[in-house]
Amino acid sequence: MPFSWGLAATIALLWPSRLVGPLDGIPLDSPAKAILFGLALPALWWFDPTYLRRRVCRVSIVALMAWKIIGSLILVQEGLCVSVVPTRPYVMDGNSAAAHSWDLRAGRHSAEPSCTAIMTRPYLRLTEFPVWFFNLPPAVGDELPANTDLPPNATTAMVVEGAMTIREPGVFRLITSAPITATVRVDERPAGPTNAIEVPRGVHTIRIDATLTGKRWQFIPLWNDGDVWQELSTTVSVPSRANQVMSRWGRWMTVALAGCLLAGWMLSAWRRIGDLPVAGWTVAASAFVGWFTSAIDGYHWHWMIVALFAAVAVPVPTRLRNARGMFVLIGIPWLVFLVVMTAPQIGRFTLYAPGNDYWLFQRFAYRIFFQGYWLEGGEKTFWFQPLHRWTAGMIHLILGHSSIGEAYADGMALLVMAMFAFRVTSTFAGFRWALVASVSTLVLFLTGPGWIFIGRGLSEISSAGFIYLSALISLRSRKGSIGLACLAGLCALLASFTRLNNIPMAAALVVFAWPASEPVTTLYHPSRWRAHVRTRTLLGIGGVLTSGFVLFALRTWYYTGVFSVFHGTALDPSRGYSRWAWQPGMTIVQGLRSLYESVMIVLTTSEPPKIHNGALPLIVSALLALLAVMNAPGLRRLPAGPVFMYLAALSSALVGRGTAYPGRFSIHILGAAATALICAVALSIQWILKVVPLQARSSLDRQRDEQIDSRHPPRSEARPATD
């Protein structure tokens, strides 16, 4: 039931309102909407789902949804209709009509939309105009855009039209930058040479015809030298009577209902924390992270995250020694980092460099969501990774043409990776070591070159997020239903389709059919294999993966007549061997050297391989994992899950060799590497200090964690290994 209400809350908040306001729903093109709906909403849903059971929450959800439904029935959409027409079609199978944009209010389903976007604010720079389609040309083949396809050499027509409801006479004025020429007509009356015109009270139609050239663009409508959308009510056509009655106070009704829902939820979450030292740390750490991110360049951000190691010194009550406590201590500052880092992107589209992978993903996303290629996805065989084009398109539908949504998704995927490190390490070594493991995961990411890929539109972070989410759900499914196990398998399948080279790591997730604390040494004792295994988790993950790959192969057969998962990909021999680690014609020595270099590209986060300080933890953890599966004394007690995940991830480098974008092929190993390394360090320190042997800990065994943290020895009776 809480899930249903959470879904209802999400729909109610995101559904676009006909009345323009600060919290009017998608697209999330303002800081308030992007942060509250794009980050705070999913965080609150996960952190405090119990709030959804409260009557006040459900009343707020129903009231907000009812208000938006009524508005959609009786109101004309506020804002002005913007139609942007390029000089020629910019996408395959396109036409010369108005281009589509990622604004759901503007008729996404129409082949020839009446509006490209709904204008609800002035456009102060080129990247705020609804010209995302500059990422699409050319319309034929795989050629790169011509010189005249992109600013500053492109010439584009733009028409802005609608109606203004004016209560007191005044002057409408349009300010544009020099490269833009525009003519303004109000009720068919042309404006003067300065694009200013006096308008009496009443309802008046307006039309602005503009030609966009160059790249220094500004388009600022003013009413009595103030912002049009603050001073007047504008609609895409002649307003209804309801618009005229509700325009002034209706938008604030939306704000009141949405704000009440979110404010109550935040207050409930704050009360759930309910501990002054923890709350004080979170506020202080978030403030520090926000300042550091804004004041220091990105090449030094890892020092900011290193400071979060101090969280281990915070006194934490027993009830918060879990994943939610980790989120408060580490996750909230991380989200603040994400907000400050990406703030300049809100409401602005990214002009991708033509020819790059992320440029192609954007083009494929457009073909799927606007041209209906839902099964084909832009390619009949996937030389480029399959799933991410669908993911990118779905994110655009929610957050608009800005790439801020992909940045938020990547940031949350990395947080899921850190939560995995926390979950496994807490079971093995306790709460404080688990905090170290979670921070280490984020530090490993920011110390390598991969940090630049947040929000870049590539698929590596997305795939890693699905993998570690699958691992967390797998552990949960041991005590849940077969449905959770199938959900874990679905996440593993999505990870595989996002990055085909991550298939071995996804398959290794079946190891979480055993407890998170299950040691590697179990591998050498077949009699123990059935001791703690959950068959439903094995069947759920294995069954969904197998079924998904069969369906994927059937799709390939449908388009090509070949029943294969890899046909047409970089591993298809018919398309050459340029991406193979061991290529035909190599001698044994050359082949072994190539395999070694391929693995080291992953471990050193650089191409060609180059050992550096940031790569040392990955190399050391790989050696520890290898020694663990070789049944080395001491290390064979390491948890099997991260060890097998790590080695499975490295095994893909023995087949395919990564090229370009240094660091991208190392992202998926970071969570497993940090977990294995910190568990080994904890194990070593326990051995050196000759403390009681480290035993598997249940997440419910909080009393024992508290005793260890206060340096009181736990009771000596043996406990069964559980998760």
96 contact partners, CB below 8 Å, separation of at least 6: 85, 86, 88, 89
- Degrees, nearest 5: CA angle 518-523-528: 70
Asked if 70 and 130 sit in the same domain, the reply is no
- Is residue 702 in a domain? no
CA 322 from centroid of its chain's CA atoms = 24
The four Cα atoms 151, 152, 156, 162 give a dihedral, to 10 degrees, of 90
Asked if 166 and 33 sit in the same domain, the reply is no
- Is residue 254 in a domain? no
Kindly list the distances between the CA atom of residue 576 and the CA atoms of 50, 87, 228, 241, in Å, as whole numbers in the listed order: 54, 39, 58, 66
Asked if 70 and 147 sit in the same domain, the reply is no
Q: Which pLDDT score is estimated for 690? A: 61
Q: Which pLDDT score is estimated for 96? A: 55
Which residue's entry shows tokens 């059971």? 53
- Is residue 695 in a domain? no
Asked if 340 and 402 sit in the same domain, the reply is yes
User: Where in the sequence is the domain holding 675, given as residue range(s)?
Assistant: 279-687
3-state DSSP helix/strand/coil % of the chain, to nearest 5: 55, 10, 35
Residues 503, 462: Cα–Cα separation, whole Å: 14
460 contact partners, CB below 8 Å, separation of at least 6: 450, 453, 499, 664, 665, 667, 668
Q: How far apart are the first and last CA of the chain?
A: 26
Coil/strand/helix, residue 636: helix
The four Cα atoms 39, 41, 45, 49 give a dihedral, to 10 degrees, of 140
Residues of the chain where predicted confidence (pLDDT) is lower than 70: 1, 93-97, 108-111, 139-142, 690-723
- Is residue 252 in a domain? no
Asked if 522 and 596 sit in the same domain, the reply is yes
Q: Which amino acid is at 194?
A: T
- Is residue 714 in a domain? no
Contact 77, 103 (CB under 8 A): no
Q: Which pLDDT score is estimated for 508? A: 94
Q: Which pLDDT score is estimated for 713? A: 41
What residues are paired with 95 via a beta bridge?
Answer: none
Asked if 228 and 329 sit in the same domain, the reply is no
Farthest CA pair distance, the chain: 90
Q: Which pLDDT score is estimated for 95? A: 60
Asked if 63 and 88 sit in the same domain, the reply is no
Half-sphere exposure of 97 (CA within 13 A, CB side): 12
- Per-residue pLDDT reduced to its tens digit, 528-551: 888 888 899 999 999 999 999 999
Which residue's entry shows tokens 């921070």? 439
Asked if 12 and 97 sit in the same domain, the reply is no
Asked if 123 and 71 sit in the same domain, the reply is no
Q: Which pLDDT score is estimated for 409? A: 94
Coil/strand/helix, residue 402: strand
Asked if 535 and 627 sit in the same domain, the reply is yes
Residues 228, 514: Cα–Cα separation, whole Å: 62
Q: How many domains does the chain have?
A: 3
- Per-residue pLDDT reduced to its tens digit, 198-208: 999 999 999 99
- Is residue 153 in a domain? yes
Asked if 62 and 102 sit in the same domain, the reply is no
Asked if 292 and 167 sit in the same domain, the reply is no
- Is residue 495 in a domain? yes
Q: Which pLDDT score is estimated for 112? A: 73
- Is residue 710 in a domain? no
